[in-house]
């Protein structure tokens, strides 16, 4: 059941209202509780609320930073070289690597679009939340000088070994890259994982040159696919996504943190069709199978990969249509610090 009244909780015997973490509004709507549908690592359900003002959907209470690492499996980060590979498995891994690099080209093209607004820069790039380094590798082929940063030591290790990327392990707020300033900072699917996105934007701003640009991508909770699938939407990803944004919510946050920005409802080849496919048939999702440690025969795993890829292709037209209508599965932002 949903309620359109302001919510309250009891704390130390007195009522204390829950505020939206983005716009601090108290008028909230109770959503269906979420659970860990993707990996099944965390038991129980999580309370979710929607803000009636900015539209964001968030967990309450927001998790402590120390608890977040327990939400992710060790094999969350994709690597081309897992142990004990057979010949057929190596073939499928090479094909998967080629696929990942192909769809990530779309991210580099958006970065190029933003770069045209910043002519004359040296193209020094920092990707916060770089994961396994695929985007850093692709951006390097577009002429950028890539640097990476991730909270996961395992992800940084893979980025270095797999692509030879200059990546460092570190949390947002750390001195990991204090010795450098960058022309571009990218944060693809990072903000939704953070209980305090303001701290992340402040941190990124401090690492940008005065003329630098911040490029952001987050799932769009007001997209057509999010409304269609509801609590089964892949982009909701409870409990790892603690705050899911609408365009209005992201705009409010960027404005508050002192950025001039452009929001774009744009098709993402890597994310939008995959989100539809994984919402329709979640047990086919490759990240889910790997994160759950399912030890399948390489031939069966290869067949499932091909079936999923076919479903991905079928989802492309629907993802294109929703993006054309302005309600795509992801929100892109190109932001510049105000003087």
- Mean predicted lDDT score pLDDT of the chain: 87
HEC assignment per residue over the chain: CCCCCCCEEEECCEEEECCCCCCCCCCEEECCCECCCCCCCCCCCECEEEECCCCCEEECCCCCHHHHHHHCCHHHCCCCCCCCCCHHHHHHHHHHHHHHHHHHHHHHHHHHHHHCCCCCCCCEEEEECCCCCHHHHHHHHCCCEEEEEECCHHHHHHHHHHHCCCEEECCCCCCCCCCCCEEEEEEECCHHHCCCHHHHHHHHHHHEEEEEEEEEEEEECCCHHHHHHHHHCHHHCCCCCCEEECHHHHHHHHHHCCEEEEEECCCCCCCHHHHHHHHHCHHHCHHHHHHCCCCCCHHHHHHHHHHHHHHHHHHHHHHHHHHHCCCCCEEEEEEEECC
Predicted pLDDT of residue 86: 59
Question: What are the phi and psi torsion angles at 280 (to 5°)?
Answer: -70, -45
Q: Is 131 a member of any domain? A: yes
Predicted pLDDT of residue 10: 35
- Is the pLDDT confidence value at 153 over 70? yes
* pLDDT, tens only, 27-58: 999 999 999 998 888 889 999 999 999 999 99
Q: How many CA atoms lie within 13 A of 122 on its CB side?
A: 11
Lowest mean pLDDT segment, chosen from 82-86, 155-159, 215-219, 260-264: 82-86
* pLDDT, tens only, 62-71: 988 778 888 8
Q: Is 58 a member of any domain? A: no
Residue 85 banded pLDDT, cuts 50, 70, 90: low
Predicted pLDDT of residue 268: 93
Rounded to whole angstroms, what are the CA distances from 166 to 92, 147, 157? 27, 5, 10
Predicted pLDDT of residue 270: 92
Q: Identify which has the larger pLDDT, 73 or 110.
A: 110
Q: Is 66 a member of any domain? A: no
Predicted pLDDT of residue 23: 95
Q: Is 49 a member of any domain? A: no
Query: Which structural domain range is residue 90 located in?
Result: 74-337
Q: Is 2 a member of any domain? A: no
Predicted pLDDT of residue 87: 62
- Is the pLDDT confidence value at 8 over 80? no
Question: What are the phi and psi torsion angles at 111 (to 5°)?
Answer: -60, -40
- Is the pLDDT confidence value at 4 over 60? no
Predicted pLDDT of residue 88: 63
Lowest mean pLDDT segment, chosen from 154-163, 233-242, 285-294, 327-336: 285-294
The CATH number given to whatever domain includes residue 247 is: 3.40.50.150
Q: Is 54 a member of any domain? A: no
Residue 244 banded pLDDT, cuts 50, 70, 90: very high
Cβ-contact 8, 26 below 8 angstroms: no
Q: Is 86 a member of any domain? A: yes
Is 293 exposed, middle or buried (CB count within 10 Å of its CB: 0-12, 13-18, 19+)? Answer: exposed
- Is the pLDDT confidence value at 9 over 90? no
Task: Give the whole-number percent of the chain exceeding pLDDT 70.
Answer: 90
Predicted pLDDT of residue 94: 80
Average pLDDT of span 9-22: 62
As beta bridge partners, residue 57 has 50, 244
Lowest mean pLDDT segment, chosen from 80-94, 255-269, 303-317: 80-94
Quote the number of domains for the chain.
1
Rounded to whole angstroms, what are the CA distances from 165 to 12, 112, 139, 161, 209? 50, 20, 11, 8, 22
Predicted pLDDT of residue 29: 94
Predicted pLDDT of residue 58: 97
Q: Is 16 a member of any domain? A: no
Average pLDDT of span 94-99: 82
Predicted pLDDT of residue 169: 94
């Amino acid at each position: 059941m949903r309620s359109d009244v302001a919510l309250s909780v009891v704390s130390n015997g007195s009522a204390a209202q829950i505020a939206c973490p983005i716009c601090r509004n108290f008028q909230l709507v109770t959503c269906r509780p979420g659970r860990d549908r993707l990996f099944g690592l965390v038991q129980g359900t999580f309370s979710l609320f929607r803000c009636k003002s900015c539209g964001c959907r968030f967990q309450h209470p927001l998790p402590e930073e120390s608890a977040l690492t327990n939400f992710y499996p060790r094999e969350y980060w994709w690597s081309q070289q897992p142990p004990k590979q057979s010949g057929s498995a190596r073939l499928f891994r090479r094909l998967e690597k080629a696929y990942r690099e192909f769809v990530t080209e779309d991210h580099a093209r958006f970065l190029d679009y933003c770069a045209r607004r910043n002519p004359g820069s040296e193209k020094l790039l920092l990707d916060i939340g770089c994961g396994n380094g695929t985007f850093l590798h692709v951006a390097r082929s577009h002429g950028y000088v890539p640097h990476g940063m991730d909270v996961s030591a395992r992800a940084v290790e893979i980025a270095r070994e797999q692509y030879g990327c200059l990546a460092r392990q570190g949390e947002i707020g750390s001195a990991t890259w204090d010795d450098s300033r960058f022309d571009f900072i990218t944060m693809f699917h990072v903000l939704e994982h953070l209980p305090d996105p303001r701290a992340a934007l402040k941190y990124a701003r401090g690492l940008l040159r005065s003329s630098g640009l911040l490029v952001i991508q987050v799932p769009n909770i007001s997209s057509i696919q999010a409304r269609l699938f509801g609590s089964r939407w892949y982009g909701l990803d409870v409990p790892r996504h603690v705050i899911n944004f609408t365009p209005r919510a992201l705009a409010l946050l960027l404005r508050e943190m002192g950025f001039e920005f452009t929001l774009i409802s744009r098709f993402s080849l890597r994310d939008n069709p995959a989100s539809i496919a994984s919402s329709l048939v979640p047990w086919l999702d490759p990240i889910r199978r790997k994160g759950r440690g399912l030890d399948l025969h390489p031939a069966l795993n290869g067949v499932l990969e091909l079936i999923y890829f076919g479903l991905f292709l079928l989802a492309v037209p629907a993802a294109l249509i929703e993006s054309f209508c302005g309600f795509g599965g992801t929100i892109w932002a190109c932001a510049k610090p105000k003087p």
